[in-house]
């Protein structure tokens, strides 16, 4: 089946072909026709399956006819993170270049004034994170009564981040007569409840078992001492044919420290985490996409939805706390039919986390011993250089020239300056030195000395 068989317009097919895609993925084959037929849809698919295009492509053709009005977007796409929202915007620009559709991106960390100006002009597609959307709605800058198409993307991630109450409130402000598309990697009970409440007779699509790992990805668990993680990471990077890699850490402080460490050792590394403002995060991501840096150290803000072509490796510097995060992290490689490798560094404290991951994906992950080869070699060289010097210094000790020996009686004679002060005082009194007191001894001094 080709994209032409899905009922897309000629302009859209041209844009898809120019982007280098020939055949639709399973989720695209199953989702695009019902979306074009204006049906509600629930799409369950693991990351890296082409899910974004499965709603972006039909939306472009649906919105090709009609006009937008000020502050009244015609469609709304909700994303859990800024990065995902920005990526969806890139997809609209890429596939919609032969359509005259207007778009606005509402995310935190950037100027609100520019976003308000875009809304005033009227937009066909509004891509937003729930927080910024609710903020502008509360200020009266957005009216959702004209929105006829809603997309809730990465719904399970929305649940993890606590956005479900916001989504429910947003849904109540949209027209009841609308088309709603919900996409998620898993379908936990709260998401099922959300779908039952706000979708009407949806068509359900599931292209793979929920939370299963991509079979195109070779997975390894690297057993390592917690104190040697950095050395082992550098060893594995050097041993592997790493084109581009994302290195995930659980904490933002670890991201910063590891990125600095890699740079000190000569690697082209960057970082992305929640404490960075949005322009800095996008700039770092752009450097990674261009290949100016090939190692991106990231927190879980980058675990879902980021689609960077050619990511050959994923390294879990820290074993993820949640099993679902493992699936989404390693899903940054092995995308669109390509192969990839994922290495997870584990310590003795990660036993329970790994058991939960293996239970979720339904398979055992091969374990390998992590050795800090580079560090060991360096340490051996240092020890080898230090050892001869130590031997030479020990051999030199017997050959040390000592001063001429003194007579035995001279050795035993105490040096004057080593005597106790009181004894030196006694000698002075008994011998009556020329520079001392020559008169009669005072009675108090005589009594004290005799005592």
Q: Give the CATH number, domain containing residue 156.
A: 3.40.50.300
Backbone angles phi, psi at 260, to 5 degrees: -65, -40
| Host domain of residue 445 | 415-450
Q: How sure is the predictor about 214, in pLDDT bands with cuts at 50, 70 and 90?
A: low
Confidence bin at 450 (pLDDT 50/70/90): very low
Only one residue has tokens 């469609």, namely 75
Total Cβ atoms within 10 A of residue 160: 17
pLDDT in tens, 124-160: 999 999 999 999 999 999 999 999 999 999 998 898 8
Got the DSSP string for 27-77? HHHHHHHHHHTT--EEEE--TTSSHHHHHHHHHHHHTTSS--BTTB-SEEE
Residues 317-368: tens digit of each pLDDT: 999 988 878 888 888 888 766 789 999 999 999 999 999 999 888 889 999 9
249 and 153 within one domain: no
**pLDDT for the residue 380:** 47
Average pLDDT along the chain = 82
Does pLDDT of 58 surpass 50? yes
One domain, residues 198 and 246: no
Question: Do 226 and 340 share a structural domain?
Answer: yes
Predicted confidence (pLDDT) at residue 13 exceeds the cutoff of 80: yes
Read off the DSSP letter of residue 110: S
Shared-domain flag, residues 21 and 57: yes
pTM comes to: 0.64
Going by pLDDT thresholds of 50, 70 and 90, the confidence category of residue 388 is: very low
- The strand pairing partners of 272, in sequence order, are 298
Q: Are residues 323 and 174 in the same domain?
A: no
Determine contact, residues 331/305, Cβ cutoff 8 Å. Answer: no
Q: Cβ distance 42 to 207 under 8 Å?
A: no
Q: Examine residue 398 and state whether it is found in any structural domain, yes or no.
A: no
pLDDT at 304: 60
Q: Which of 160, 150, 99 is nearest to 128 (CA)?
A: 150
- Between 294 and 450, residue with greater pLDDT: 294
> Distance between CA 96 and CA 60 in Å, rounded?
6
Across the beta sheet with 203-206, the strand order is 103-106, 125-128, 75-78, 149-152, 179-184, 41-44, 203-206
Q: What is the mean pLDDT of residues 39-53?
A: 86
Average pLDDT over residues 168-172: 95
Do residues 131 and 78 lie in contact, with contact meaning Cβ atoms separated by under 8 Å? no
Do 8 and 81 reside in the same domain of the chain?
yes
- Whether 389 maps to a domain, the answer reads no
Distance in angstroms (rounded) separating the CA atoms of residues 54 and 253: 36
Continuous H helices in 266-350: 278-290, 323-330
């Amino acid at each position: 089946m080709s994209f032409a068989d899905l009922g897309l317009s000629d302009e859209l097919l041209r844009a898809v072909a120019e982007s280098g895609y020939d055949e639709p993925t399973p989720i695209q084959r199953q989702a695009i026709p019902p979306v074009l037929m204006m049906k509600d849809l629930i799409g369950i698919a693991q990351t890296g399956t082409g899910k974004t295009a499965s709603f972006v492509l039909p939306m472009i053709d649906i919105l090709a006819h009609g006009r937008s009005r000020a502050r009244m977007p015609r469609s709304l796409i909700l994303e859990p993170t800024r990065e995902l929202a920005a990526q969806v915007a890139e997809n609209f620009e890429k596939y919609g270049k032969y359509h005259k559709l207007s778009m606005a991106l509402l995310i935190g960390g950037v100027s609100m004034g520019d976003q308000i100006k875009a809304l005033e002009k009227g937009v066909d597609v509004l891509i937003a994170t729930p927080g910024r959307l609710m903020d502008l709605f509360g200020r009266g800058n957005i009216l959702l009564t004209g929105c006829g198409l809603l997309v809730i993307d990465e719904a399970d991630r929305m649940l993890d981040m606590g956005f479900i109450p916001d989504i429910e409130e947003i849904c109540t402000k949209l027209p009841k007569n609308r088309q709603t598309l919900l996409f998620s990697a898993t379908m936990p009970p709260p998401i099922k409840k959300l779908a039952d409440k706000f979708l009407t007779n949806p068509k359900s699509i599931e292209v793979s078992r929920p939370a299963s790992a991509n079979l195109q990805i070779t997975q390894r668990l690297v057993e390592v001492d917690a104190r040697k993680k950095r050395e082992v990471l550098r060893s594995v990077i050097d041993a592997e044919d790493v084109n581009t890699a994302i290195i995930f850490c659980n904490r933002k402080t670890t991201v910063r420290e590891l990125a600095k460490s890699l740079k000190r050792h000569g690697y082209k590394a960057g970082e992305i985490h929640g404490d960075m403002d949005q322009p800095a995060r996008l700039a770092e991501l752009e450097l990674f996409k261009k290949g100016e840096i090939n190692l991106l150290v990231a927190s879980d803000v980058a675990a879902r939805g980021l689609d960077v072509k050619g990511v050959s490796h994923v390294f879990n510097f820290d074993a993820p706390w949640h099993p679902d995060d493992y699936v989404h992290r390693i899903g940054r490689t092995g995308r669109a039919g390509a192969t990839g490798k994922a290495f997870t560094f584990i310590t003795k404290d990660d036993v329970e986390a790994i058991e939960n991951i293996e239970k979720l994906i339904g398979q055992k992950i091969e374990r390998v011993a992590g050795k800090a080869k580079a560090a060991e070699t360096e340490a051996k060289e240092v020890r080898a250089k230090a050892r001869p010097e130590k031997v030479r210094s020990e051999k030199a000790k017997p050959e040390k020239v000592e001063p001429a020996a003194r007579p035995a009686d001279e050795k035993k004679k105490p040096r004057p300056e080593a005597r106790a002060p009181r004894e030196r005082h006694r000698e002075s009194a008994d011998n009556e030195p020329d520079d001392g007191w020559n008169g009669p001894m005072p009675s108090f001094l005589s009594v004290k000395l005799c005592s």
